[in-house]
Structure 1
Amino acid sequence: MVYIHFIVNPISGKGSHEITETFLKRHFHESNYKIAVYHTKHPKHAIEITNAIVRYNPDCIVACGGDGTINEVASCLVNTPIKLGIIPVGSGNGLASNLNIPRDIDRAVEIIKHGTQSKIDVGRINDHYFFSNMGIGIDAMIIGKYEQSGKRTLVSYVKAALSASFWFKPVEARLKFEGQTVNMHPFLLFISNSNEMGYGMSLTPNASLSDGFLDLILVPELSFIQKLQLGLAVLRNKTNTFKLANHTLIRSLEAELPDRIFLDAQIDGEYYNLKTNKIKVGMINGGLKVLTP
């Protein structure tokens, strides 16, 4: 008997999915599976639910939602024997895409039933885990404006990116990583564990979820023309051709923004206002068990 809990975000993907208890019981027959289904009701609710059910030691907890829901569930499963399952019904679905988990719900269900267990690395920024990426540069402002739009679409994301490119002003950052000390005004400070950040776009197409490293991209303050060139490179998934982008593999990083009291950050595509001007980034090698094709 396989014991599975499902945590469903009912508004992911515009709320158009049909992941219901009836649907799941039809696919996970009681002769072979014991299942429980929960629906989230507010932001961070998936964390509350997952923490409450971890003590029952299910075989698997399945996040049915987008990257935000997946992050909330997965963060509670780091360094536990419980496997994460994913049914991606969000807008970006960057982590699921990297793991080759299809957006087709029936096919994703089959992976929950017959997939293999894989271990992936886990990133950490202060007290928060990330599984795809995080950043404290322009991407944090983009995500903030994207969330304010109230629309989880690619068009809304592009509009947010264009707006942020006009309003974002880089500030001084003091960085330490891999034996280096760097002072700069980063337009982009992006750290990725995954080769995709959603909507098929990637800043780190060569990143691996299981290589024991995080991929750091640093881009200095840019002119208007250089911003356009970077934007085009991002849309074409060719940031490696943008000469001002510095790519480095890291295991850890420390950053301080001395002119700030708090930091704006994006963590797995969700906006955070961190009540500090310092961050410590690290990683846990193979810290999460995930069901994959």
Structure 2
Amino acid sequence: MKVALVVNSSSGALMHRPDAAVELADKLRAAGLEVEAVLGGDSSDIVERMIQARDLPVDVIVTAGGDGTIAAAAAALVGTDKALAPLPLGTMNLLAKDLKIPVDLDAAIAAFADAEIVSIDVGEVNGHKFLCNSMLGVPARLAERRERNRLQMGLMGWWKHGLATLKAMYRYPPMRVGLDLGDGPIFLRSKAIVVADNAYDEGFGHVLTRSHLDRGELTVYATRRLSIWPLARLATRMALGRWTQDPDLETHHVRSLIVTSRRKLLRVMLDGETRLIRPPLRFIILPKALKVLRPRQIAPAPELEDAA
């Protein structure tokens, strides 16, 4: 299998590894992959390097970086015959986990050597692509804060971030937005709205994980109220894997969605990266628009057809 390696040296996991591109290329070759090109650099020209990699005579684009690197790759590869292979070098690695890619770097590279290419859905809002979820309200503000302080996080930093999350969910004023699910807008006041590419799994230990990535739908989760006791109940149900049954959580399955607001700009988190977007926010799902590399499964789910 011929691959191109695109490295974002300014991502947190690679910032202090000056020879990361050479090191990763050597590991890929040792695993039996044909590395046709190594495109190193920082985030300043990541989009241009992704486009350059896309136009090379390769089968797969291996990305080394965080969520922003994966998002840039997805934007360049949607609708093409090139597959994305994300190395788990970000903070959350949500897509890698959903694809069952090992979080250990060497194990992930070894898994790529015996992998399959499948097609997954891609979400889009006002032209911006996302592979896992888009969040509004408290989650977007907290993600921006985490990104500003990620280099000083450490164990104590994550503890403080967790406390800040609880305080923000309690104190942050709710947004007043309109949700048009296809039958006209409904208005609600909410502190957190999540639009996911396909539904999240339920069950103990399955928080923000998805087994199905190609059902062609967006799943909308919106909180109705988050005072201290409903918040505690929702957190407990999330830990137990029964959080979608919470009475203060709305869930909708749609192909498209429009979010309206009186605000001039809405802070939106796309796969961990925050940006300001002018409403209305027009969400759509692009069914099976992106090819990805995942470890070969003994009994693949029937919804994920081999697109190789």
TM-score band w.r.t. shorter chain: 0.7 to 0.9
Structure 2: where are the runs of 5+ without partners?
A: 296-308
Cα distance, 1:240–1:90 mapped onto 2, change above 3 Å:
same
Cα distance, 1:177–1:31 mapped onto 2, change above 3 Å:
closer
Percent of matched pairs sharing the same residue:
24
Cα distance, 1:273–1:235 mapped onto 2, change above 3 Å:
farther
What TM-score do the two structures reach when normalised by structure 1? Answer: 0.86
The answer to which of 231-240 and 206-215 deviates more is 231-240
Q: Do the aligned partners of 1:178 and 1:251 also contact (CA within 8 Å) in 2?
A: no
Question: Residue type of the partner of 1:41?
Answer: D
Q: How does 1:1-293 map to 2 (within 5 A)?
A: 2-10=1-9, 11-13=11-13, 15=15, 19-28=20-29, 33-42=34-43, 45-151=45-151, 154-155=158-159, 157-179=161-183, 181-193=185-197, 195=200, 202-203=207-208, 205=209, 208-258=212-262, 260-274=263-277, 276-293=278-295
| CA distance in structure 2 between the aligned counterparts of 1:30 and 1:98, rounded to whole angstroms | 22
Q: For 1:230-266, what per-residue CA distance to the aligned partner results, in whole angstroms no more than 9, with x for missing partners?
A: 33434444322321111111110001112x1111010
Cα distance, 1:157–1:251 mapped onto 2, change above 3 Å:
farther
SS of residue paired to 2:175: coil
Question: Residue type of the partner of 1:225?
Answer: W
Paired residues, number: 285
| CA distance in structure 2 between the aligned counterparts of 1:156 and 1:216, rounded to whole angstroms | 29
The answer to which of 162-171 and 28-37 deviates more is 28-37
Question: Residue type of the partner of 1:291?
Answer: L
Q: For 1:59-101, what per-residue CA distance to the aligned partner results, in whole angstroms no more than 9, with x for missing partners?
A: 1111122333211211210000111112111221111101100
Q: Do the aligned partners of 2:2 and 2:36 also contact (CA within 8 Å) in 1?
A: yes
| CA distance in structure 2 between the aligned counterparts of 1:57 and 1:168, rounded to whole angstroms | 50
Report the aligned-residue RMSD: 2.7
CA deviation after TM superposition for structure 1 residue 207, in Å: 6.2
Q: For 1:251-285, what per-residue CA distance to the aligned partner results, in whole angstroms no more than 9, with x for missing partners?
A: 10001112x111101000111111x1210000110
Structure 1: where are the runs of 5+ without partners?
A: none
Q: Do the aligned partners of 2:222 and 2:251 also contact (CA within 8 Å) in 1?
A: yes
Q: Do the aligned partners of 1:57 and 1:82 also contact (CA within 8 Å) in 2?
A: no
| CA distance in structure 1 between the aligned counterparts of 2:90 and 2:27, rounded to whole angstroms | 22
| CA distance in structure 1 between the aligned counterparts of 2:163 and 2:239, rounded to whole angstroms | 13
What TM-score do the two structures reach when normalised by structure 2? Answer: 0.82
CA deviation after TM superposition for structure 1 residue 206, in Å: 5.8
Cα distance, 1:147–1:206 mapped onto 2, change above 3 Å:
closer
| CA distance in structure 1 between the aligned counterparts of 2:180 and 2:13, rounded to whole angstroms | 38
Q: For 1:139-185, what per-residue CA distance to the aligned partner results, in whole angstroms no more than 9, with x for missing partners?
A: 11121221122346653642442342244211221111143531111
Question: Residue type of the partner of 1:241?
Answer: Q
Cα distance, 1:23–1:212 mapped onto 2, change above 3 Å:
closer
